Structure 1
């Protein structure tokens, strides 16, 4: 008893910092920064949502074929590759914060060009510029949020980009319905041009945000990094541990505590691509496969086809009225947004794996029922109300199950698993794969559905989702509650990661005396050994 009193007499502050899940003041600041950074994702969401309806009017006004329409719909994803490829290096040069400002400025120019487009070629130029802005935004928002967030709420905060993508999609759908009554030549131009408005507020709002503490450490600005970590951590102890972790990952000796220190050139990005692609360690190879794989399966399971072409899908299902198609599409956006909000609260409570596997399981079932309903409608001479209802319900179930796991976890997981020095470039590779597959699906959906029927396309997506479920189950370890640097310990054993996890848990139990400090002792002792061993 005497010992316990002696121990508890001094670390009372550490215990009290560990017991409550959050200190409101600190988390409010991290929360506000995450919201501002994630608002860049509204730009992509709005474009996806608005193009689903604007495409109907563009096709009528400019008299373009289905092939030209699907290229116009999906080409932004291909163009965004330029932005996401450049974003890794840009964010290492000018910082995460100013990269967000750059994304907003580029998208602003693209939205104006699309709004004033006079023909198909002019419209494609606008898509090109907006696409580069979207590529920047997609890469930088999850990286910045993951680097700023404390471990206790990182899943919640890092899922914000996906929340705002969904909010943008819903705004796009609402914009379609709101401006659909305007004259044909004016309606779609207003729908596209008004997308410039959010980027203005975003560029101004970002100036109130701090820079990423990890980027500051890489620049040798330890004093500035300490101030940001103090504001965004749950406790002073956590802030100190996070700083120690980042310094170690950046190759700065623990005894260097000056406000400004010299950082070796290697930490500025030289050799990153070699370490990531040409000569990766088993740990980095496993991380890269997991990070790229989750982005690949997110898109190839058909989400952008459903979101972009929902009016066309509802038309195939038997809804003929333009306004009814757009209203049904608004319902899709509403359900998608509601379920993504549910997911944000579950990420740090349930964990990434259970949510991801449940989500993909639900997607498989809803894709099967959607494929079946559309096939029955295709082969029926009469209007089958039950089949139409099943098709609509399946679309809603699909976007709901996607949004509760696969949607947000892709961005959370891929942004948190890469080591600090490889994070910007590693995340940009994941985003590039995401955009390539999204563009491929978007630009071939109409042609693909003509070739194998629309029902057949959704059976194909179901097969991809099944392969994705197997991939996630076998290769992706749980990352909930782990520090960003600790995750390196979990990767590298590929299919044997469960035994590594058991070892970590065993080490935590052995180090039971440190558990009163929660975040502080147990994590650092597990983490620092393997990191220095590498």
Structure 2
């Protein structure tokens, strides 16, 4: 198969991640003090804790056992988890165990998927296909919302089993597809010494003979046979220990870790996943329930469109440029959205007529500003974080470094899920937008200081 096809198959796991994670979070608009909502929060936290654990472990195991086996393990975890969750109406405990399994699969998917794509696809198209992870993630979330609307007329038990039953089928199909993909050529070169097989895979990925020979020569230079043999003798724990020492004890690599962790944390703390969504649903709910549903769908459509735009531009414009432009535009839209809404909330802005603010003007302004925030996020932090984190490490530390970044991503995701809806309800949309502006201003300074465009350590 062509490398582009293999990259798409590898990125399909993000569809399952988006689809699966969305179902538990479809109760955001519920009363935060209601028991079902508290159970939703607990399930999300359970899944995220499991994903933190699996992400930390996946880096070392991917270096020891290879990338391909993790796709099979991920499929098995998603299959088992969704089977259990389809019977979650029996008891909350069964549902919680199902979320543990899918949480483990999420950590593996987010860690190994982008790394595998970065190692397989030629440099000229690597950004496009690695950012496909964000495209599939948004597609999965949108599919979950659409399916939820389709089965909403059914009984709760039937709708629940239908939703997770489809996830079971998708897990089987995606796992069957990944069985046909080859192992990462870089892992074959560095860990197994299978030069002939690695060369064949590299040649099939539309790399020229000169590029293939260059990659193989660089891998031979980087390979420390004595160190690799020692790691293989002592097992996966030795691999994890050696990689951890490199990540945190060597200043140049430690700076790379800081940049990757910072991008992942700022990506989740942008408030796009929970804070803005909760406030948007609340804002449109005052008009009608139809507006509320359309707002949920509209958010995901906008994110999907702009993630596609980012994928098409990143290889031409560069990673750091896209990050700075995306975060800068996001800051501008947050100020444009936050200050007027805060003024309306506190009656600082008086309507020209005594009848109050024109509803159409307020809704149009809100939608325009929100679309700008979401689009800027996808152009910058939303898509580029996956690319940057999978490319910036040298080979021997790539999987382990990416796994640590994903673990911090899940920790930040849990923090956002627990705190941002309440913060948004307390500050209302205007105040929440200004808080997000402060965070994104810090992210802009962080990117300017810690990220680089011309990477000294590249995939090849």
Q: After superposition, where does 1:341-352 map in structure 2 within 5 Å?
A: 341-352=308-319
Moved more, 381-390 or 195-204: 381-390
Match of 2:305 in 1: 338
Match of 1:388 in 2: 363
Contact 2:83 2:168 in 1 (8 A): yes
Q: 1:109 aligns with which of 56, 76, 80?
A: 80
Contact 1:44 1:165 in 2 (8 A): yes
Answering whether residue 178 of structure 2 is matched by residue 221 of structure 1, we say no
Q: After superposition, where does 1:50-199 map in structure 2 within 5 Å?
A: 50-53=23-26, 64=35, 66-118=37-89, 119-199=91-171
Contact 1:115 1:194 in 2 (8 A): no
Answering whether residue 429 of structure 2 is matched by residue 462 of structure 1, we say no
Match of 1:506 in 2: none
Against the structure 1 CA distance between its residues 319 and 104, is the aligned structure 2 distance closer, same or farther, given a 3 Å change threshold? farther
**C-alpha root-mean-square deviation of aligned residues, in Å?**
2.8
Equivalents in 1 of 2:159, 2:366: separation in Å?
29
Q: Considering Cα pairs closer than 8 Å and 6+ residues apart, tell me whether 1 or 2 has the greater RCO.
A: 2
Equivalents in 2 of 1:376, 1:364: separation in Å?
18
Equivalents in 1 of 2:66, 2:313: separation in Å?
31
Equivalents in 1 of 2:272, 2:111: separation in Å?
19
Match of 1:292 in 2: 261
Displacement after TM superposition at 1:213 (Å): 0.7
Displacement after TM superposition at 1:352 (Å): 0.8
Moved more, 47-56 or 444-453: 47-56
Displacement after TM superposition at 1:478 (Å): 0.3
Contact 2:58 2:403 in 1 (8 A): yes
For the residue of structure 1 that corresponds to 2:186, the secondary structure is helix
For the residue of structure 2 that corresponds to 1:371, the secondary structure is helix
For the residue of structure 1 that corresponds to 2:273, the secondary structure is helix
Displacement after TM superposition at 1:365 (Å): 2.2
Q: 1:315 aligns with which of 278, 282, 285?
A: 282
Q: Unpaired runs of 5+ in structure 1?
A: 1-27, 254-261, 486-534
Displacement after TM superposition at 1:165 (Å): 0.8
TM value normalised by structure 2:
0.88
For the residue of structure 2 that corresponds to 1:181, the secondary structure is coil
Q: 2:172 aligns with which of 200, 204, 207?
A: 200
Q: After superposition, where does 1:437-452 map in structure 2 within 5 Å?
A: 437-452=412-427
Displacement after TM superposition at 1:132 (Å): 0.9
Contact 1:335 1:400 in 2 (8 A): yes
Displacement after TM superposition at 1:70 (Å): 3.5
Match of 1:404 in 2: 379
Match of 2:183 in 1: 211
Moved more, 462-471 or 445-454: 445-454
- Name which one, 1 or 2, has greater alpha-carbon Rg: 1
String of CA shifts for 1:333-391, please: whole Å, max 9, x gaps. Answer: 11211111111111111111111111111211232344346545655796752223322
Equivalents in 1 of 2:150, 2:213: separation in Å?
51
Against the structure 1 CA distance between its residues 451 and 330, is the aligned structure 2 distance closer, same or farther, given a 3 Å change threshold? closer
Q: Unpaired runs of 5+ in structure 2?
A: 233-237, 348-354
Match of 2:352 in 1: none
Equivalents in 2 of 1:454, 1:69: separation in Å?
23
For the residue of structure 2 that corresponds to 1:276, the secondary structure is helix
Displacement after TM superposition at 1:175 (Å): 1.5
Displacement after TM superposition at 1:226 (Å): 1.1
Match of 2:350 in 1: none
Moved more, 331-340 or 45-54: 45-54
Q: 1:474 aligns with which of 449, 452, 458?
A: 449
For the residue of structure 1 that corresponds to 2:274, the secondary structure is helix
Against the structure 1 CA distance between its residues 415 and 388, is the aligned structure 2 distance closer, same or farther, given a 3 Å change threshold? same
Moved more, 440-449 or 37-46: 440-449
Q: Across the two proteins, how many residue pairs are aligned to each other?
A: 444
Displacement after TM superposition at 1:324 (Å): 2.9
For the residue of structure 2 that corresponds to 1:273, the secondary structure is helix
Equivalents in 2 of 1:211, 1:226: separation in Å?
12
Match of 2:230 in 1: 265
